[in-house]
Chain A
Amino acid sequence: MRRFITFLSIVLCPLSFVLAQSTFEEANAAYADGRYADAAAQYQAMIDETPDAVLYYNLGNAQFKQGELAQAILNYERALRLRPNYPDAKYNLAFAQSRITDNIVEQDFFLSAWARAIRNNLHERTWLILSISLFLLALVGILLFLLGREPWLRKTAFHIAWIALLFSLTAGLNAGSLHKRDTLRNEAIITQGVVNAKSSPDRSGTDLFTLHEGTKVTIRETLGEWCNIRVGNNEGWIKQQNMERI
């Protein structure tokens, strides 16, 4: 029985891939014809089966062409989650972001902004592998330092060891940070045209500031249908239905 299932999966796997490939080409043709709504629906259906960076990117393009700016930004972001180094997605994301109303100026220290940019450049898995490899390298360096007889070897091994250890730690922290981001899903895109952030999770709360669709916010806390969000230096409460998590 088990053998049969294995056989089935071996046979069906390429089959499903072929099917997916044909749907993909169909969707691409719809996009090329300018039937963006059709293309978007087909990409979405494929994403529901197996999410893929390319599908998210293409879906984002189809939505952008239909004027759904917030959804397009959301899907570019999702594409970049799966494939951090995706130049087309990065370009189109920046293009879409230039169309949104809110101009969010991050008030972070420039080093932390750099650190985040570096972190977002690689996949979590890549960072983890990098961290482990560097740790192994550091161990080898330590062994060489302790066991080596030649002073130059010992000296070189010592320097390699501490540098590798430092980078391993950084890579590990990056991986952990990405893991936290992807499991908590605490980043969201505003989907409502205009939404007011309140001072409390309550409709009667004072309106603190206004956000427009397409703006990326960080969710800090969730209370019922309300989320405490942070944008730049502003913090406030917004209903969950007004945004979508990346």
Chain B
Amino acid sequence: MYKKVSILFLFVGMALTGFADDVVFKASAPGQVIVGKPFQLTYTVNQRSRDFRAPEFTDFDVLSGPYTSTSSSTSFVNGRRTSSFEQTYTFMVMAQRAGTFTIGPATVKVDGNQVQSNGVRIQVLPEDQQPAQQQGGQASQTSSTSQSSQSSASSQTASENLFVRTIVSKTKVHEQEALMLTYKLYFANVDVAQLTNNTKLPEFTGFLKQEFDQGEIQTELEHYNGRNYRTATLYRTILYPQHSGEIKIDPARFEAVLRVQTQQRVRSIFDDFFGTYTNVTKTLTAPGVTVHVSALPGGKPAGFSGGVGKFTLTPSISQTELQANEAVTIKLDISGAGNMKLLKTPAIDWPEGFEPYDPKVTNNFNASAAGVSGTKSIEYLAIPRSAGEYTIPAVKFSYFDIDEKAYKTLSTPEYTIHVKRGANESSVAGGQQSAVVSYTQKEDIKQLGTDIRYIDTKDLGKNRQQAAISYQFIWLWYVVPFVLAVIILIVLRKQIKENADMNRVRYKRANKVAQKRLKAAAAALKANDANTFYAAIETAAWSYLSDRLSIPTADLNKENIASLLRQKGVSDTLIADVMNVLSTAEFARYAPSTDHAMDDLFAATTNLINNLEDQKI
């Protein structure tokens, strides 16, 4: 039965098909109202409801209501049907006094369920004061006195009725500290038709400008200098001062088109009906502002790169245990509010052996009156190329904290990364897999021979590690034989002496011996004993030369003597004399000659020996 009814309702095609939708029950009222002026308070519910219960109105007078009205609509768009239903409860309310008040939620029943609306916060502005009082309350900087006066003389467009204010959130800021500049149109008792595009904004020299979504222009009520104005925000921007000192912002110019009631006499009823208004263009000038910018204090930390605001740093690392040639990612999330746009990307000092890539920066910024806030995500990617344990040093990020007026340094932890040998790397070093992969061409097959030699399978135990040699007694191996040798030499010193002296003795005694033999020869000469004489002469000559030249008897011959004498630098004539004496004596021994010859030989021999003595051979 129920089903049938609902099918019937479907056929009727009314708004009831929105049954399953969520119930929306909303209260709405103007944000600002003026004391004593009635305004509408509306409660809207998107489904049929009953049993509406209004909240208590403590600070407001309910003039009339609630009036209930319903409306529904159905539309077909591209074959899709959308339908809506709305039930509205409306009050006429008047505020009793100035201030900000909240009207509590109302309740309504939908399908037996009680639904609550939102509360409404209403700012109640005081009533307009007398124009005379208004003059005294004018502030110098933000007043509308600089407004052009050359436009229409109409009282409706008088400067107090229409002006643009320049509002800065702060006039004393630090370098790089965000400030918000707003141009706001104020108007009362005039009808602003539109704003022309003929707008001239200042250059904002000395500032970095951060534009953001202006949104639609909405009018609000605002009590300013004793009067209630309708206001509209014409332009908003966030400014970052780029240097210290007093920075002046030039005046801005806007142009508004006003609808002014003509002063002409009403000619006919049609004139009155279609309007006796004319459009008047009016130039509005927003005054200039001076911003006092103080420099950032000294003592900037090393990692400071111009960040001003309030930030937090969230570091993360993808993995600390990995294989070579695998990528590792370090992610830094810098979030907070400040001059995010100017933040420099901190650099990671990757250890040697890492192949770093350019960091990937993702900005997610929201511009608001407090400056730009959001998150700057920086992803650093690097690939370690060899195994080992590496330490990635801490990354430091310094900024100037606006609230605490001090430099702050944020730091990531030090990461220790264990890089294991990668699968590819080991095969390259092992030389087997890579050989299979890279040496597939036939001409390269010869190259397969380059591998390490095979293990040793037989020589075990031949070259064991032995205890280190103690050098404590090694020296004995040198000293003991040396001492033994010395003892041997001492024992046999006589022999050495003899060996050493034999030649010297003979040398020294040569002359003496020769003289002794010559004496014997002289005796033989006197006795005329030729045989004895020649024998004595010969012996004297030979033995003298033998001793003097240290020639052993066995090697004694004329050639040896001659060559030795020549070696010792004896002159050729003397050598000839020596040879002559030797051959004469030899010859005469076997063939005796005259006395005269004996005399000559004796003299020659004596002379020769004396000459050789002089030569000190």
Contacts and interface: CB of A to CB of B under 8 A. Distances in A.
A44 interface: no
Contact of B455 (A50, A61, A83): A61
Interface string A73-94: 0000000001100101001100
A125 B477 contact: no
A19 B133 CA distance: 115
Interface string B457-484: 1011111111011010010011001101
Contacts of B386: 193-194, 212-213
A69 B427 CA distance: 11
Interface string A125-148: 100100010011001001100111
A51 B465 contact: yes
Contact of B430 (A17, A20, A28, A64): A64
B460 A147 contact: no
Nearest to B453: A88
B300 interface: no
Contact of B351 (A86, A125, A194): A194
B419 interface: yes
Given A50-B465, A143-B485, A194-B388, A95 B460 contact: no
Interface string A1-40: 0000000000000000100110011001001000000000
Contacts of A179: 468-469, 471
B425 A67 contact: yes
Contact of B452 (A21, A50, A92, A192): A92
Given A95-B450, A193-B353, A67 B430 contact: yes
A213 B329 CA distance: 25
A88 B451 CA distance: 12
B429 A67 contact: yes
A195 B489 CA distance: 63
Nearest to B493: A146
Q: What is the interface residue range for chain B against chain A? A: 35 or more
Contacts of B457: 25, 28
Contacts of A135: 477-478, 481
A83 B380 CA distance: 50
A28 B429 contact: no
Nearest to A136: B481
A31 B460 contact: no
A219 interface: no
Closest 10 CB pairs of A and B: A67-B426, A193-B386, A194-B353, A193-B388, A53-B463, A67-B429, A51-B465, A83-B463, A58-B455, A92-B452
27 contacts: A17-B461, A28-B455, A31-B455, A54-B456, A54-B460, A61-B452, A61-B454, A62-B455, A64-B429, A66-B426, A69-B429, A86-B463, A88-B453, A91-B452, A95-B451, A128-B474, A136-B481, A139-B484, A142-B485, A143-B488, A147-B489, A147-B496, A147-B499, A182-B468, A192-B388, A193-B384, A194-B388
Interface of A: 17, 20-21, 24-25, 28, 31, 50-55, 57-58, 61-62, 64-69, 82-83, 86, 88, 91-92, 95-96, 99, 124-125, 128, 132, 135-136, 139, 142-143, 146-149, 175-176, 179, 182-183, 192-196, 210, 212-213
